[in-house]
Amino acid sequence: MQVFKFGGASVKDAAAIKNLAEIVRQYQEDELLIVVSAMGKMTNALEQLTTAYINQTAEVQTIFAGIRAYHDQILTELFDPSHPIFDEVENTFVEIEWMIEEEPHDDPNFIYDQIVSIGELVSSRIVTAYLNQTGIKSKWLDVRGYIQTDNTYREGLVDWQKTSESIKESIPSFLQKEKVVTQGFIGGTSENFTTTLGREGSDYTAAIFASCLNAASVTIWKDVAGVFNADPKRFQNIIKFDQLSYPEAVEMAYYGASIIHPKTIQPLQNAGIPLFVKPFLTPQDNGTVILGEELPVKVPVIIVKTNQVLVSVSSKNHSFITENHLSEIYKILAELHFKVNLMQNSALSFSFCVDFESGKFEQLMQKLKQDFNFKYNTGTDLITVRHYEISLLRELSAGKTILLEQLSRNTAQILIKAEN
């Protein structure tokens, strides 16, 4: 039994979905659970729709119409007009229609999860219908009935006991009869509300199912040949890893490598399940496999996180920054679901770097200014180098304004002013 995860690029249009079906066809004899992301850049589009709805701006209907037209184009290229999938997709979009006709809910994170999750619900229905149309018997499952979370909207915390029980109860019998297609990124609460597991959380979904079902492996199908020591779109002369250890993959994901969601590795490592990262355009290639504990990395690994903000906080009475101050600051960051990418403190100030999200950042500033003085720099990039060499650090930062630099035994981080 295997788990496959197909990301947005692998289901971005009709041709991509046909390619997905051909990959799945190669595993006709295997039990296969397929996790699907939203199509193409639909999560971004749905985020724009959410923001427009919350702010009650005029472009709500225009954005929504564009989202529907995008999916209609794919449906038209894949199916006869009489196919029931057209009604299924339309009925799913009605959930958004009902919501945007009402006044916005008080909690923007709740609104986000109810709207943005529609991307996965629609894409998984289309994929299921196309697999069945091409002779690959498949069953659509609503993941919200299986992955149970708390009410932390935008970053739902999985209730592993309930989730494991739900998955083990019925899914093995489904897999014996047909392929199972479900959604990545989303879960459900005990009140039947939709939650999301964090941006790019479909990898994590695949790991949850694999862990609960004791799968033989998980394969993430990407638009790259595997895991590299740097972003192929940003750097030249890069190296593809044939194999990585779980700990190294965790470190890379933690520091922002976009190839894998940070929460993906732990459940797989605990269950000893290998993770394959393979190219969907050349599925016969080996890609990269992640497994095992001891596998030294002999080349530097470069990770770049853009759109960062550096915040420096000091006490209003000019006292030392103590553990009590740090506890208060971290409590605020945790409440707003900020992940600290870099931090450093001196006697009188504490500096930290987080992803810049304008709405959330305004909330952060409002909370911090009650007890602290602060200043900040937006438009910064964070470069992290695992297994660094000093000469490489100097090369990466040459001619750039360095705002913060931090070196440990294995990892170096440099925060620079982003180039225009």
Same domain for 312 and 272: no
Q: Are residues 284 and 330 in the same domain?
A: no
Q: Half-sphere exposure (CA, 13 Å, Cβ side) for 96?
A: 27
pLDDT above 70: residue 56: yes
For residue 92, the model assigns a pLDDT of 96
Residue 301 confidence (pLDDT)? 97
* Same domain, yes or no: 284 and 395: no
Last residue of a domain, one of 290, 323, 348: 290
Q: Please indicate, yes or no, whether residues 60 and 7 belong to a single structural domain of this protein.
A: yes
CATH of the domain at 306: 3.30.2130.10
Q: Which two tokens stand for residue 130?
A: 């196309």
| Residue 399 among known ligand-binding residues | no
Q: Indicate if 327 and 181 belong to the same structural domain.
A: no
Give the domain extent around 164: 2-290
93/205 same-domain check: yes
Q: State whether 305 and 279 are in the same domain.
A: no
The two three-digit tokens of residue 295, written as one number: 């596998």
Residue written as token pair 């992940």: 339
User: Above 90 in pLDDT, residue 258?
Assistant: no
Q: Is the pLDDT of residue 199 over 70?
A: yes
Residue 201 has pLDDT above 90, yes or no: no
Specify the range with the lowest mean pLDDT, choosing from 165-179, 253-267, 396-410.
253-267
* Domain end residue (candidates: 259, 290, 321): 290
Residues 34 and 81 in one domain: yes
201 annotated as belonging to a binding site for a ligand:
no
Asked if residue 92 is part of any domain, the answer here is yes
Q: Domain for residue 296, yes or no? A: no
- Look at residue 357 in the predicted model and tell me its pLDDT: 87
- Give the mean model confidence (pLDDT) for residues 26-50: 96
Q: Which residues of 153-163 are buried (b: 16+ CB within 10 A; e: fewer)?
A: bbbbebbeeeb
Confidence of residue 418 (pLDDT cuts 50, 70, 90): confident
Please compute the mean of the pLDDT values over residues 152-162 and round it to a whole number. Answer: 95
Clarify whether residues 283 and 327 are in a common domain.
no
In this predicted model, what pLDDT tens digit does every residue of 325-365 receive, in sequence order?
Answer: 999 999 999 988 899 999 999 999 999 999 998 888 999 99
User: What pLDDT does 420 receive?
Assistant: 64
The per-residue pLDDT for 317 is 87
Domain assignment of residue 84, yes or no = yes
Query: In total, how many domains does the chain have?
Result: 2
Q: Domain for residue 359, yes or no?
A: yes
**7 annotated to a ligand binding site:** yes
- CATH number of the CATH domain containing 82: 3.40.1160.10
Distance CA 255, CA 379 (A): 18
Tell me if 340 is assigned to some domain.
yes
* 29 and 176 assigned to the same domain: yes
Calculate mean pLDDT across residues 157-164: 97
Pairing of strands 372-386, 411-417: antiparallel
Residue 367 lies in a domain: yes
Domain boundary among 268, 290, 312: 290
265 and 381 share one domain: no
Q: For a pLDDT cut of 90, what percent of the chain falls above it?
A: 88
Kindly report, residue by residue over 218-228, the tens digit of the pLDDT.
999 999 999 99
Is the alpha carbon torsion for 119, 123, 126, 132 positive or negative? negative
Mean pLDDT across the chain: 94
DSSP string, 302-339: EEEEEEEEEEEEEETT-----HHHHHHHHHHHHHTTPP
Q: What is the pLDDT of residues 117-145, one digit of tens each?
A: 999 999 999 999 999 999 999 999 999 99
CB atoms within 10 A of CB 284: 7
Residue 295 lies in a domain: no
Measured distance CA(242)–CA(286) in Å, rounded = 8
Annotated binding residue at 6?
Answer: yes
What's the CA gap between 267 and 212, in Å, rounded?
Answer: 9
Kindly report the pTM of this predicted structure: 0.92
Cα distance between the two ends of the chain: 48
On whether both 282 and 379 belong to a single domain, the answer is: no
